[in-house]
Amino acid sequence: MNENYLIQENEGDDITLVEVLMETENAVFVEDSSDNYEIKYWRRKSDEIFDIIDKLTEEQLIEYLDASRDWEDMDMDDADFDFDEDDTEDEEAEEVK
């Protein structure tokens, strides 16, 4: 089985990656891998899901896992993030003076 899907459980929810680990006649056993946690649970096939966005290929899953590892390995203490554009504009204005 081991099929991977990007889903939106309810309208307005974040998109999550789920893996179908096992299937019975009326239920599926899934692993939800989102927000840096993994939860395994059973759900009825009749339970509604707002949107099944994509079924990931094996190549796409490998690419996702590689990207996730790269992000987790990043040392956030050494990162130089500047998300405040106003500061940049202020600095540029000071340099002109």
Q: What is the per-residue pLDDT across 20-77, written as a single tens digit (0 to 9) for each?
A: 999 999 999 999 987 677 899 999 999 999 999 999 999 999 998 888 776 656 555 5
Locate the DSSP E strands across 1-91. Answer: 3-8, 16-23, 27-34, 37-44, 51-56
Residue 82 has a pLDDT of 59
Domain boundaries, the chain: 3-96
Q: Is the pLDDT of residue 91 over 80?
A: no
**Which residue would you say has higher pLDDT here, 9 or 2?**
9
Q: How far is CA 80 from CA 66, 76, 77, in A?
A: 22, 8, 8
Of the chain, the end-to-end C-alpha distance in Å amounts to 65
Global pTM value: 0.66
